[in-house]
Amino acid sequence: MQKSKVDVILGIQWGDEGKGKIVDVLASGYDIVARFQGGPNAGHTIKFGGMTHVLHTIPSGIFHEGKVNVIGNGVLIDACIVCEEIENLRKAGIEARDRMVISDKANLILPTHRLLDAALEQKKGSKKIGSTVKGIGPAYTDKVARCGLRMGDVFASSFQGKYEALKADHLLQLKNLGFDLEAARIDGKTLAEYEKAWMSGIEELRSFQVLPTEIYLNRALAEGKTVLAEGAQGSLLDVDFGSYPFVTSSSTVTAGVCVGLGVPPSAIGKVYGVFKAYCTRVGSGPFPTELHDATGEELRAKGHEFGATTGRPRRTGWLDLPALRYTLMINGITDLVVMKADVMDEFDTVKVAVGYTLDGKKMEYYPTTEQAERVVPEYKELPGWKSSIGQARRYEELPAAFRSYLDFICQETGSQIKVVSVGPDREETIIRGE
């Protein structure tokens, strides 16, 4: 029986809400930080002490001494990328090996998974998902098809043989897709070059603690240790509840914590829903409140809305409350965390979508992907706060107009805002009730 709980931090829009920052801020209150899904498609930015760090696979608790960071069974690992992260941390004086454990059941992204991702996107042409091309879709496909390779496999003498067999299968698929293997590059490397770096990454990972993390975590909970689960992507990119097929290939919602870490539903405690005060999306798919005007451009410029993983410009738009109400419902959010409102400090007014109409009728439920392409958002326009919120460290110090805006969000969603982020730095955070 658990004596303590797993609290969860999730993105409740289309990713890049600022999850990494909030995990880093709240990690000091937990014993363990655990990633439960996704892989290096994620880019989690953390800023403190004048430094900026971007993590892709490694949990965002890694900067805190004395905390254990778990890469759970639901996560995908690219040995090259995770080793780059390990190396970057080493340069910052952090030895990840001393602070991290990896699930023996986490699946591996092979170099050929990355090529398959590129080939499948190419084949889709204008209907492409706009994936991060990190091999996520093909690696999760192999996991579900029961032919993937897992971290636990890397210690067996059969590993090389299994690798070659899966690679041969991938090469055949690439040939059938008409993919030009000779011209292909993975992060600027040929397949042979990437494979060499990947194999030495595997060698390095063999020196890490690879164990059944579901047992480790359940024992820790039974001992009264606290766990913070870190989500990647966002609920609107969830494979079931997102705008399918323009989604990622994992369960990004609270239920994903149970399968991605091996903890029971009864162990779930608080669920923090992280959202931006506006919306962004990278890649294809519906975005009802998207702006194609100067305001959209201003949000992108002031919010530095360029992908932390791919560098792609993010699409921008107004806050979408129907979408938030839907993701709050799916996730059982207990506490809201609002990010990046400082980006709108100078706006005269701020718009918020409060409902949608479709073919002239008010929508009573959340739209399907096809409907979401056609819905017309109904907006409420609120006064801007016209002052800088970045210096505030207590809720009471925030401008009255901004607090009214937050009250409006709470009222419309029936939820409470627990954390207000007023800038990218760790220090630029207000936790209510502290």
Annotated catalytic residue within 7, 24, 44, 170: 44
Cβ closer to ligand GDP: 221 or 422?
A: 422
Total binding residues for ligand IMO by CB under 6 A?
A: 25
Asked if residue 16 binds Mg ion (CB under 5 A), the reply is: yes
DSSP 261-317: HT--GGGEEEEEEEEESSEEE-SSS--TTB--SHHHHHHHHHTT-B-TTT-PBPEEE
**Total residues found in the chain within this entry:** 434
d(CA 161, CA 243): 38
Task: Tell me which of ligand GDP, ligand IMO, Mg ion, none is bound by residue 39, counting a contact when its beta carbon lies within the kind-specific cut-off of 5 to 8 angstroms.
Answer: none
In the region spanning residues 282 to 321, those forming contacts with ligand IMO, defined by CB under 6 A, are 282-283, 308
At position 229, the amino acid (one-letter code) is A
Supply the minimum distance, in Å, between the C-beta of residue 426 and ligand GDP.
10
Residue closer to ligand GDP, measured from CB, 220 or 308: 308
User: Tokens standing for 264?
Assistant: 């029971």
Please tell me whether residue 47 adopts helix, strand or coil conformation: strand
- Is 16 an active-site residue? yes
Site for ligand IMO in 127-166 (CB under 6 A): 129-132, 134, 136-137
**Inter-residue contact 100 to 64 (CB < 8 Å):** no
**Residue 42 or 70: which CB sits closer to ligand IMO?**
42
- Angstrom distance (rounded) from CA 126 to CA 130: 10
List the single partner that 138 binds among ligand GDP, ligand IMO, Mg ion, none, CB under 5 to 8 Å by kind. Answer: none
Of 8-16, 341-349, 370-378, 392-400, the segment contacting ligand IMO by CB under 6 A is 8-16
> How many whole angstroms separate alpha carbon 171 and alpha carbon 264?
39
Nearest approach, Cβ of residue 37 and ligand IMO (Å):
10
Which residues inside 324-363 make contact with ligand GDP, applying CB under 6 A? 339-340, 342-343
Minimum distance, C-beta of residue 49 to Mg ion, in the bound complex (Å):
21
What single letter denotes the amino acid at residue 253? V
Interaction mask 295-314, Mg ion, x per CB under 5 A: -------------x------
Please report, as residue ranges, which positions from 27 to 46 form the binding site for Mg ion (by CB under 5 A): 43
For residue 36, the minimal CB distance to ligand IMO (Å) is 12
CA distance 334 to 328: 8
45 or 429: whose CB is closer to Mg ion? 45
Match 């969830």 to its residue by tokens: 238
Q: How many angstroms separate the CA atoms of 9 and 419, rounded?
A: 12
Residue 346 CB, nearest approach to ligand IMO (Å) = 26
Bond before 245 cis per omega within 30 degrees: yes
**Whole-angstrom Cα distance, residue 60 to residue 45?**
9
Distance in angstroms between the alpha carbons of the first and the last residue of the chain: 30
Among residues 303 and 367, whose Cβ is nearest to ligand GDP? 303
Choose, by CB under 6 A, the member of 44, 56, 143, 170 that binds ligand GDP: 44
Taking CA atoms, 137 is separated from 66, 115, 125, 140, 232, in Å, by 34, 11, 16, 5, 15
Tell me the C-alpha to C-alpha distance, in Å, between residue 231 and each of 8, 12, 150, 237: 7, 10, 21, 12
Residue number, 13 or 289, with CB nearest to ligand GDP:
13
Q: Does 2 bind ligand GDP (CB under 6 A)?
A: no
Residue window 215-254: x/- pattern of binding to ligand IMO, with contact defined by CB under 6 A: -----------------xxx--x----------xx-----
SS3 350: strand
Q: How far is the CB of 54 from ligand IMO (least distance, A)?
A: 9
- Can you tell me the distance from the alpha carbon of 20 to that of 37, in angstroms, rounded to the nearest whole number? 14
Residues at the site binding ligand GDP, with contacts judged by CB under 6 A = 11, 15-21, 42-45, 47, 304, 308, 339-340, 342-343, 421-424
Residues at the site binding ligand IMO, with contacts judged by CB under 6 A = 11, 14-16, 38, 41-44, 129-132, 134, 136-137, 232-234, 237, 248-249, 282-283, 308
Show which residues are catalytic: 16, 44
Residues at the site binding Mg ion, with contacts judged by CB under 5 A = 16, 43, 308
